[in-house]
Structure 1
Amino acid sequence: MKIIGITGKIGSGKDAVSKYLVKEHGFKSISIGDLIRAEAKKQGVSLTRINLSRISKKFTDKFGLDYWSEYAVKKIKQMKGDKFVINGIRRFEDYNQISKSFKSFKFYMVDVKPKTRFERMKKRSRPGDPKTYDQFKKQEK
Structure 2
Amino acid sequence: MKLIVVTGLIGSGKGEVARYIAEKHGYTLLDHSAIMGKMLRGMGRSETREEKAKLRLEQGNTFTAEIIVKEIQKRGLKKVVIGSSRRPEEFLAARKAFPEAKLVVVEASGRLRYARLQKRVRDRPKDWESFLRVDKKEEKMFSLKETFSHADFVIKNNSSLKDLHAMIDKVMGKI
Instruction: Name the TM-score, length of structure 1 as normaliser.
Output: 0.86
- Offset at 1:34? 1.1
1:101 is the counterpart of 2:97: yes
- 1:4 lines up with 2:1 in the alignment: no
Report the number of matched residues.
136
Please tell me whether residue 24 in structure 1 is matched to residue 24 in structure 2: yes
Q: Runs of 5+ in structure 2 lacking a partner?
A: 137-175
Question: Where in structure 2 are the equivalents of 1:1-141 lying within 5 Å?
Answer: 1-60=1-60, 65-79=61-75, 81-126=77-122, 128-141=123-136
Deviation at 1:4, TM superposition (A): 0.3
Q: Distance in 1 between matches of 2:96 and 2:133?
A: 36
CA deviation after TM superposition for structure 1 residue 88, in Å: 2.0
- Displacement after TM superposition at 1:80 (Å): 5.2
Q: How does the TM-score come out when normalised to structure 2?
A: 0.71
CA distance in 2, matches of 1:42, 1:125: 22
Alpha-carbon deviation of 1:78?
A: 2.5
Percent of residue pairs identical: 30
Displaced runs of 4+ in structure 1, greater than 4 A? none
**Structure possessing the higher relative contact order (Cα contacts under 8 Å, 6 or more residues apart):** 1
* Residues 49 and 129 in structure 1, CA contact (< 8 A), matched pair in contact too: no
CA RMSD, aligned part only? 1.6
